[in-house]
Structure 1
Amino acid sequence: MDPGPSMTESVQVEPLDHLRPGARLLRPRGPFHARTGIELMAVIDGQRAHALDLLILDLTHLTTFGPVALQIVVQIATELHRVDVGLRLVGSEQTVGSPLTVAGVRSLFTLHSTVGEALGAQTST
């Protein structure tokens, strides 16, 4: 049974076991800075104890997505890949896709426009 959504200072966590066992939705809020990254990594580490096998990172509510956010998202992707946990990004092409492209890391991610689309995707990226 899902314990329901929870919130750190800048990250909302929502279990999606009722839709797909092992899935979690993370929604960072406000500016994405180093503190957000630290919170995200701590939340992800905590969720791995709950049979996490898919993380959906919803970036649609961010006010900024700059170099720090890029670095953190790449670090998250690298760590999740290492432990065989899928990652799916949700966000707009303009806000998230363009910076990923400019940074040269777009090929590492499939960007979904909605959480529902990401949840239903067959890929593990």
Structure 2
Amino acid sequence: MKPTPTDPALLPIAFEDALNAHDADRVLALYAPNATMRTVTGEVISGSTALRQEVEQTIAAHPHITNTTRHVLIGDGTALVIVDWSMQLTTPDGHRVAASGTTANVAGRNTDGTWRFTILNPTGTA
């Protein structure tokens, strides 16, 4: 498994690599243990079980994501990570669809100097 980034600006690329590899464990390794996510459907989930279910459901749709970092603002062990993303997914009936948006994520620095997402909001301010 690839190491967790020591620079929060690298989190979006690590996420892209892990999701495109369809590797739930690598995706989840980028999340803090008690991370919270607002899903694209608007549901707010937190904790490892709910996050794993969300990630595995996304992976089941054979995603391919492209992330483009817009801003990373770092302050006292916390970072705001703003990323434009586009993704292709396969619907249950077999059609490929595209989605895009801008995330507003928060990452926290761990005591070992690595960073993990603590709050994920793939729909940004929408």
| Bigger strand fraction | 2
State the TM-score, normalizing by the size of structure 1.
0.26
Structure with higher RCO (Cα < 8 A, 6+ apart): 2
State the TM-score, normalizing by the size of structure 2.
0.25
